[in-house]
Amino acid sequence: MTKSKAIMIGAGLANLAGAVYLIQEGHWRGDQITFYSIDDHGSNDGSPVSDAAGEYWNENHPLNKTQGFVARGGRMLNYRTYVDLMDLLSRIPSATESGMTAAEDTHDFDAKHPTFDKARLLQGGKGIIDGGKLGLDNKDRMLLSKLVLMPDSKEESLDNISIADYFKSSPHFFQSHFWYMWETTFAFRTQSSVQELRRYMHQMIYEFTQIEHLVGVNRTRYNQYESIMLPLINYLKKQGVKIVLNRRVTDWEFKNTPMQDEITVTGLKMTNTETNEEETINVDDQTAVFFTNGSITDSSTLGDLNTPATENPDYGVAASLWKKATEHFYNLGNPDKFFNDRSASEWVSFTLTTKNHILLNEIARITTQVPGNALNSFLSTSPITPLGQEDINMSIVVHHQPHFTEQKANESVIWGYFLYPRRTGEFVNKQYIKMTGKEMVQELIGQLSKVDPGPVNIKEKEAEIMDSVINNIPVYMPYASALFNNRAKTDRPEVIPAHSTNLAFTGEFVEQPYQMVFTEQSAVRSGEIAAFHFAGVPMDKLVKNPRFDKDPKVLARATKKMFS
């Protein structure tokens, strides 16, 4: 059913993409599109600390909110699979590079700074681990091959089966170098959905052959906000799109019909987060509603150098609204599968800013590589899992500098994360979730000291490094891996649910054939599908997605790699 106006609930990447396609493919005017959102970045944030959104701060402490930079997460791109994202970025100007599209900007930067990680895995007493030796045994290979070769039509047989359940007959799999690298490259956990692992293995099968160096990873020139989100925002504002911020949509009004199966939104209730005033927006027959029904950064909180991030018990802004929709209709999924078990989804990340390059130079010396696009994961030397197995303690990403346009020439920014925040540090006797920013730096230096080849150990420079720290912002994200949570296919709504006349679901918590979540690709694709549907654009004009899992040469290389 075609429409002539759109309301966007949430101003994340999926809905921004939908607006661009409505304008360029549907030939809509910008003033026909209105956004209502708390912020203008969704999960693709990045800013000076002073600009970080106020609702994320723990107001019970006198935090340093003026110095350094913060990004709750980071994005790795892949040109060969993120085809919808690159199509989107090719349609808009770069926000930082004159005369280039956002896609040309990224291609230009990436060509000059290609990824080649020489220290993907680091282990105390051993230094750099040869990740090219995947460490799989025959049982691991058999189970992994069975997963990769499973046809799409059989995928539902993996409903509600976790990765741990699938590999329960071969626990050795979780001690392989392959698992350590896959786990920390994509943020899977043992309790994550094996359906999602299958989709990643299908769409990223060629990356399987080079995961130890991440040579298939592409990066933007600056952080995800300035290189991806800001170009979109600038373009849409220039087109006359209305972006109304500080609005939390809290409830729906639906059309009453005799069968109670027609899904037609007639109104939205929202709160102005600055004034606490309640508002109601009418939705007429000519208006489509694009709703991003979940966010991996909802309910996140920030700390600082001397204060840990506290826990926010909120179920999540987007997920709460999604749950209210499921109370009216039976075919809109099950948000509890993703937002009701924080133990399966929580992370702690940190953004470290220093006033010089002492730490950066030490990392370069230890890892034998120049800063820029490396992902280094520190493998524990002591049993820390319930099974007494080794696992990853922490991971860091050392970006090409500067990572922010406002960053000074002498400043360095490093991002890192703890995939299991309830574990206890090896050098700071606290759970990661309870550490201050300063303690996280101390833990990082300790981890680096374990793998430092010398002759002068980084520990001897600890005081100098600590003196260089401007700020380190811990971020607690209770739902960072929620999109991987164990679930069935029907637990996510389709982009256009059956019987919907004007409501589309967008983002990472929708069901799309073949797409893998936790990627800009799937987010953009959902907004594109919704835009085409309501603008009356034929679906055969959607960007064509490659199927590397159908390429015999790629499969042959992957098979050979499996035996390394």
**In a 3-state reduction of DSSP, which class is residue 297?**
coil
Amino acid residing at 40:
D
First to last CA, the chain: 53
For 46-115, give the DSSP string.
-EEGGGS-GGGB-TTS----SSSEE-S----B-TTT-HHHHHHHTTSB-SSSTT-BHHHHHHHHHHHS--
CA–CA distances in Å: residue 554 to residues 286, 325, 364, 484, 545: 47, 43, 33, 25, 16
**237: how many CB neighbours lie within 10 A of its CB?**
13
Distance of CA 381 to the CA centre of its chain: 28
Structure tokens belonging to residue 297 = 């950064």
Angle at 471 between CA 439 and CA 189, to 5 degrees: 55
Backbone angles phi, psi at 128, to 5 degrees: -75, 125
What Rg do the C-alpha atoms of the chain give, in angstroms? 23
Distance CA 156, CA 62 (A): 50
Cα separation, 111 vs 109, in Å, equals 6
Provide the 3-class DSSP secondary structure of residue 530. Answer: helix
Residues 289-299 as b/e (b if ≥16 CB within 10 A, e otherwise) read bbbbbbbbbbb
- Amino acid identity at 240: G
CA of residue 25 relative to chain centroid, distance: 27
CA–CA separation, 456 and 243 (whole Å): 54
Token representation of residue 415: 């991002």
Which helix (H) or strand (E) element contains residue 366? helix 358-367
> Both tokens of residue 437?
């920013």
- Considering 36, 180, 200, 476, which one is annotated as catalytic? 200
Nearest-angstrom CA–CA distance, 216 and 190: 24
Kindly state the helix (H) or strand (E) to which residue 22 belongs, with its residue range.
Answer: helix 13-24
The owner of tokens 């409830």 is: 251
Burial class (CB in 10 A: 0-12, 13-18, 19+), 381: middle
Q: Which of 227, 244, 135 is nearest to 181 (CA)?
A: 135
Contacts of residues 554-557 at CB distance under 8 Å and 24 or more positions apart, as own/partner, are 554/205, 554/206, 555/148, 555/205, 557/206, 557/209
With residues binned 3-state (H G I as helix, E B as strand, rest as coil), the percentages for the chain, rounded to 5, are 35, 20, 45
E strand or H helix at 350, and its extent? strand 347-354
- 200 counts as catalytic: yes
Amino acid at site 208: F
* DSSP one-letter code for 175: G
By annotation, the residues acting in catalysis are 200
